[in-house]
Structure formats: C-alpha cells, structure tokens
Structure 1
Amino acid sequence: MAGPNSSRLHQGSIDGFLTQPVHQVVSDNQANKDALMNTTLITFIGRTPKTSEGYRKTVYSIDGHRQPPSAFLGFNLKQYLKPDRIVILGTAGSMWDHLFEGDIDFGNDAENDRLELAFAVEESRVTQAMLDQIQPVLADKLGIDTHLQLIQVGTTLNEQIEVVELMSRHVDTGDQVQLDITHGLRSLPMIALLTAMYLRNLRQATIEGIWYGAFELRQDDITPVNNLQGLLQMADWLSAMHAYSKDGDYGVFSELLGEAGHCLKEAAFFERINNSAKAKQKLETWSIEGKIDQDPVARLFADELQQRIAWHRKGSRHDREQKLAKEYFKRGDYLRAAILALEAKISEELHQNREPDTRDHREEASKSLQAGSREFQTLSRIRNALAHGVRSPDKKIDKLLSDENSLATELQRLFKSLKI
C-alpha cells in the first residue's frame, strides 16, 4: 500500500482493544443485550494534534480503571461499557483515518479504501459514501453493530437540528444510551446534551452516561474521564419548576426527590381536593424529613421550592387559603382561585366567631356571607359558572367569562374588596 500515510496504516495494535476473538465478542454482547436491553454508544470523533507518529494518544482513566493508550476515547469506552451498538459521528475533516490505522491493527484489510479515506481526511473532504464503504471493515473488527455518520459542523440552527436528527436516528425506543462528547467541536457537547433530553422524552431512552475525557486535567500522563450525566438532573429540575409554575402540582418533584418526595406528592393531592389542612401536614413533614441538602442538584432549587410552598407556614386556615388563592390566580387557574378565596372567607368567618370548623358550620357561614356581602355573592356566581362550564344566567358574569382580561380584573377587584 503506497502513499504518505502507508507506514502508519500498518502500525500498532494496542493491547486491550481486541483481546477476544470476534465470535467471542459477539457472544458476550448478545448476553449483555439479553440482560440489559439494547445499549447504544454514541461518540464524536474530532481531530487531535498530529505528528509523524500519528495522532496524539493518552492513557484514559474510566471510573478509576486505566485504559490502553489511545487517541480516540470511543474505543476505550467500547471495551469498558460493552455496548450493543456504536455510532461514531464526525465532520468531513475529522480523523476518520485513525479508526483504521491507530488503535487497531487492520493488516492488509481494505487497503485502498483506507488510503482513500486518509487522503480525504487531509483535505477535509470525507463523504458519507466513503464511510459507508469502509464501515463493515470496522464493524467486523469491533464485533458489534457499527455506524459511521458524517455530520455538519453545526454553525447554523438547521445544521444543529440535523445533528440531533442524525443522532436520534440511531437510537431505538427504550434504548440505554451512552454519550461520549470528548472529541467533538466545542458546540457539539451542547447539542449532545439537548439530544439526550430529546431522546429521553421522545424515545423513552435511558441516558446512562455523558462521558468527557478531560485531557487538560491529566496528571502523571493520566487523563481522567468524567461522567457528566448528572447535568440531566438539572434539566429535570428546571422542567419540574416550569411545570409547577404552570399548574401548581408539587407531585412533579416527587420522582426527583425519591422517598423524600412522597410527602410532596401527597400534599399536592390534598391541596388539589381543597383539603389545605392535610396538605399543610404533609408539607410540614416534608420540611422536616425531606433531607434535600443530601442531593447536590436539589440544593440549587431548595430555596425556590421552599418559597413556593411557603403558604403552609401561615398560622390559620383562612390565611393559608388566601395565600393559595393568590398563587392560583397568578397561574391563571381562576376556578381554583375562586374556590379557595370563598373557602378563605368562610374559614375567616368561623375563626372570628370562634365556631368549630365543621361541614354544618361552614354551610351556615357561607349562607351568612351570601346574605351580607354582594362581593361574596358575585364571587360565588363566578365560581359556579367556571365549575359548570355553561353560560351564566347573569349576563354580567357571562360577559366576564368571554374575556380573560375582564375576568382577571374582576377577580382582582373582588379579592381586594373581600381582603383576600
């Protein structure tokens, strides 16, 4: 095989990459598939510095385990993680030739295709057709389902979306996914993180790892490989906060907090059936037993979450219901806001008259308020119209329900007049 790269194309099997016969590797991976479902390793290949001896190599340490020296972490992760499929993504100028000459010895296999690829890499003109042609050779050596995927640099939104689409095309529903972002261009790790979120939501994929080999942090010639998968927990919390701001359901935090979140889920149930007393009990239990400080990601959101459930610290029932009424009004949940505002006035009436908080006494207090307060009557009619979803016989109320701004303005007026 002639050419400027021919001496390198025949060099160097690195111990550790192919320590088993191909048929044994395939057998082991089949057992892994049966036990753990399908696992896909998605890795980017960029371009490390190059000398006359080839691309720069380093010794990676994954979970404290030293790996054979390599220029491409994807091969190390393939050996360490034992995936069922590996997808390697790179641009037209990525070091595709290294896959066939640096860390694995291919002997004389596909010499012409490998040489053509090496020349194309030097001129940044690698095509998908070239990769498709040589892909089976690498798959045979690795012993698993292997895909080489050409991607754009990702400088425009359309190119970035295309990268997401290409990555997701190689992931089946329910897959376990390992992402390696070590060798991608600087923008690609961000795209990979967004893709991970996309895959979890649309493909129900489990993101087991987001791996990054930190060459700049190497010590004693050992490059640490960090798993950044925990960043997805921050995305989960942000999504949960958004959902809570929208509908006020604490239950969205329950899965994020594990056992500590069970009380929040129960509190959400009792609040949404207008049992603020029970909801208060559950939130007090969570505040004491939540142990949120043990979760480093949860700590980032602890203050915000505590503020959003601060209503339960109000001393009396009517104070708590007033606070909740205002919170639901802010979220645009006008029905629940009206219900809680009415219940707050009833609770306040019982409190001032020092009467027991029973069903009969609440009904009597409601009748008394209906008779003595025009604002209370109007709020009750609005509540009824919202609850039943039909046209109100009261034309004024019916007109309010045809325009959100008018309804919100009227509720604000009523709340102020009733001192909610």
Structure 2
Amino acid sequence: MDMDIQKAQVNTLISLLGKSNLDSKTGYRVTCYRMPNGEERSTEYFGLALAEYLQVRRMILIGTASSMWDLLVENVAGDDAAEELRIMLFDAVRAGTVSEDLLGKLAPAIEQKVGRKVTPLVISSSVTFAEQQALLFRLEELLQKDERVALDLTHGFRHLAMLGLAASRYLSHERGVQVVGLYYGALDMTRDGITPVVTVDGLAHLLEWAEAFEGYDASGDFSRFAPLLKRDGLAHEAADALERAWGLLQVSNVSDAARTLYSAWKKLESPLTGASELFRKRLQKALRWCQAQQLSEKLRLLALQSLGRGDVLRAAVFGFECTLVREVEEAGGNPLDYEQRKAADDRLQEAFKGGEEGPDWKRHAYWLLKNVRNACAHSAPPRNTKHAELMRNPERLRRELDATLNRLTNT
C-alpha cells in the first residue's frame, strides 16, 4: 500500500510503553528512526514519533503499573505537569502502583505537548491467557467500529508484540476495527546511527488470507478474497468480478458466473504482490471451474467442490444439472434453454424407469443425484430403499456422491 495513503487512513495509534534496560533514571536513549517513507525522526519514545509521522488524532498508550510513565511525563510534559502529580507518579512507578486515574490527571499536559489526545491504559504483565483476554476486552471498549488503527509493537515485553498481532485480527472481527499498519522500531538493526522502522503488516495479511480461505472452505464464498487482492495490487475491475460472480453463483447462474469470473482467473496467472502471491496458485486452483469449456464440466467441478465442504444439497443440485446439461450438449442443443433441459430430464427418466436401458453408471448417477436433490430440497426420504439408507448415513452418502460425480466424465 502507498505510504501516504496508509498514513492518511490512520485515526488511532496503539503504542506500548516498557521499561528501559539502559538507565531507570534516563529511560530510552535518543534514537534516530527512519520511517517507511525515508523520513528520519529522533526521539526517546518511538511511539510519539510514529504518532507524529502518521498524524493520528489519538494515542492509546499501554504500559504496566511500573513502566516508565514518570520519565515519559518528564521528557514530554516537563514543568507543564503539576509538580505534586509528578512526585506522586515517581513514587507510584517505583512501587509498581501506577493507576489510570493518576495518569488521566497528567494526560492533559502530555496532550498539550504532543498535539493529540492521549489515552493511558495500565495493564498487567499479561502472563496468563486470562490477563491477555482482559487487555483485548479493554481495547475493544476503547475503539469504535470502522476506526482505523495502527499498532506500535516496539517496546514492552516481547510476548506483547505477539499479542498485538493477535489483537489486530480480534479487533477486526469483534469490533469492526480496521488495522491498517503494524510498526516495529528495530533498534537491533541500527547502522550508522539510523534505526529502521519495519512494517510487519504482511504478517497480519497472512492471517487474513488464512482466515479468508478457512471461510471459503466452509462456504465456497470466493468474494471474500476481493478486498485482499485489491490491497495487493490486483486491478479493481478484476477483484470486483469475484464479488459479482459470487452473487450470480448464489442464484445458480453458473454460466454468467463463470464468464464474469474468467477475467479475474486469468489475472491470477501473473504474480501478485504482498501476501496474495503466497496464496495465488491455491486461489487459481479453487476457481479453475470457471475455465472449463463446457457448462456440464463447470457444474461437475462445482458439485465436487460443494461436496468437499460437506454441502450435499448443492453438490446434488449441481451434479443433477450436470447430467441434464450434458445430455443436451451431446444432442447439439442449447444447455441454457430450460425447455431442452426439461425434455432431457423426461427422456432420461423414461429410459431409466425400467432400470434396464442405458449404461449402468449413467442410470445410477441420474437416480442417485435426482433422489438426493429432491430429498434435501423437500426434507423427505427417497422412495428408493438404497438411497433412503444413504440419506441416513452421511459419510456413505458423501463417498457415493464423490464416486458418482467423478464417473460423470465417462463417455
């Protein structure tokens, strides 16, 4: 994503305040950080420089009851903060008893200096999962739906950086928060007095792709990949085609869905940027049904995909339509014509009624797919005893449908 665009998208920065390993009286040393766009900013507290770089309206500053709140107040607000409150803060830090109430009284002096609202959040060391959950709940309370948030993972305990990554996904799902940046001031990578700022958004993007595929595997909804592909540079027209095609497939308009999807599928033949490239071939394989030449094959592949995720109804619907469409195609007709498909159904039913005519596999496929489709649609068992037994044994039914759908390629 373009850095200027990303900066403009951020409303709130969540930053961790830790303890200094250098000097408990002076805190972090002054460090020159090189921002992602090449700008250089010198500061003791990376979060403050990052907030200025991103031009956020608010900072949520997280620390424990013994983090260097006192040094932050001294270096940022100095004499602008009431002396009595500063002395109370010094004592509280040494005792490990800093409270949000005390920090709230000091926040206006900090805000006046940094030019943005500052919300201090005092947390435990978050050692246990219950403590980690508590932090996520607190953040959820402080954020609004669609708020655009960046996370600074530089300071604090190392496990909090991992928690921050998990928080980015939790907040997206549970609060509708848009996490648009994760940053790390890599002090260990300092060279010639310059410390690079590393963006680790890609790690969150990997999780988003994994979640998207988990959702796709459960529902078949490939439209969920559209925003991820747009973010990584796929043409908006191609990404939007996924959403339009899914809408068409939802109403079983397979022909138009395939035609709409094909242009996007072709775009996936070329490398993508970002996390999308790691999942490109898997996505292309998932959408390969759209490039099948005949409608009957598109339907068969969709039936197998539906069966693979346990959607027996759609597997039977697509599979049965495949048998009718293939009959029309072999007769040189128009498979999109309802009357021709109805006539094909009547012919097959009449031919197979006695159970003697036609190849065994074809007769078996026709009656199994039709009976399962009707049973699922009408919530009533088939009259056929064997098929009724299959409907009472989902695992056997799936195996039988899988073998049947694969046999539909027979001539």
- Residue identity in the other structure for 1:305: L
Match of 1:225 among 172, 184, 197: 197
Moved more, 208-217 or 392-401: 392-401
Instruction: Specify the alignment match of 1:177 in structure 2.
Output: 149
C-alpha separation in 2, matches of 1:416 and 1:176? 48
Instruction: Specify the alignment match of 2:340 in structure 1.
Output: 361
Shift of 1:412: 4.5
Moved more, 149-158 or 347-356: 347-356
* 8 A Cα contact 1:164 1:192, kept in partner: no
Shift of 1:45: 0.3
1:168 and 2:140 equivalent? yes
Deviations 1:181-226 (A, max 9, x none): 1112111122222222233333333333322111112222122223
- Residue identity in the other structure for 1:196: S
Shift of 1:73: 1.1
User: Where does 1:93-132 land on structure 2 (aligned, <5 Å)?
Assistant: 93-102=66-75, 104=76, 106-107=78-79, 109-122=81-94, 124-132=96-104
User: Where does 1:50-129 land on structure 2 (aligned, <5 Å)?
Assistant: 50-51=22-23, 54-55=26-27, 56-62=29-35, 63-67=37-41, 69-102=42-75, 104=76, 106-107=78-79, 109-122=81-94, 124-129=96-101
Structure 1 residues 352 and 235 mapped into 2: Cα distance closer, same or farther (>3 Å)?
same
Shift of 1:108: 7.2
C-alpha separation in 2, matches of 1:338 and 1:170? 48
User: Where does 1:262-341 land on structure 2 (aligned, <5 Å)?
Assistant: 262-290=240-268, 293-341=271-319
C-alpha separation in 1, matches of 2:80 and 2:242? 64
C-alpha separation in 1, matches of 2:32 and 2:266? 47
Instruction: Specify the alignment match of 1:138 in structure 2.
Output: 110
Deviations 1:31-70 (A, max 9, x none): xxxxx89922221101233248712221222232222x32
Shift of 1:177: 1.9
* 8 A Cα contact 2:77 2:110, kept in partner: no
Shift of 1:335: 1.5
Moved more, 269-278 or 92-101: 269-278
Match of 1:250 among 216, 222, 247: 222
Match of 1:197 among 157, 169, 179: 169
- Residue identity in the other structure for 2:367: Q
Instruction: Specify the alignment match of 1:379 in structure 2.
Output: 369
- Residue identity in the other structure for 2:161: P
- Residue identity in the other structure for 1:244: Y
Instruction: Specify the alignment match of 1:391 in structure 2.
Output: 380
Shift of 1:340: 1.4
* 8 A Cα contact 1:391 1:398, kept in partner: no
Deviations 1:125-170 (A, max 9, x none): 4344543454444344445432221111222110111111122222
Deviations 1:329-372 (A, max 9, x none): 11111111111111222233334444553433322221222233
C-alpha separation in 1, matches of 2:187 and 2:382? 73
C-alpha separation in 1, matches of 2:300 and 2:24? 75
Moved more, 285-294 or 85-94: 285-294
C-alpha separation in 2, matches of 1:43 and 1:362? 63
Moved more, 288-297 or 193-202: 288-297
C-alpha separation in 2, matches of 1:359 and 1:188? 60
C-alpha separation in 2, matches of 1:335 and 1:108? 69
Say which SS state the counterpart of residue 101 (structure 1) adopts.
Answer: helix
C-alpha separation in 2, matches of 1:108 and 1:368? 90
* 8 A Cα contact 2:272 2:280, kept in partner: no
- Residue identity in the other structure for 1:254: A
Shift of 1:291: 6.9
Shift of 1:249: 2.1
Gaps of 5+ in 1: 1-35
* 8 A Cα contact 1:48 1:71, kept in partner: no
Q: TM-score, normalised by structure 1?
A: 0.79
Match of 1:157 among 112, 129, 148: 129
Instruction: Specify the alignment match of 1:370 in structure 2.
Output: 349
Shift of 1:415: 4.4
* 8 A Cα contact 1:176 1:208, kept in partner: yes
Say which SS state the counterpart of residue 54 (structure 1) adopts.
Answer: coil
Match of 2:160 among 180, 183, 188: 188
* 8 A Cα contact 1:292 1:299, kept in partner: no
Say which SS state the counterpart of residue 147 (structure 1) adopts.
Answer: strand
| Percent of paired sites with the same residue | 29
Instruction: Specify the alignment match of 1:24 in structure 2.
Output: none
1:349 and 2:336 equivalent? no
Q: TM-score, normalised by structure 2?
A: 0.81
Gaps of 5+ in 2: 1-7, 231-235, 353-362
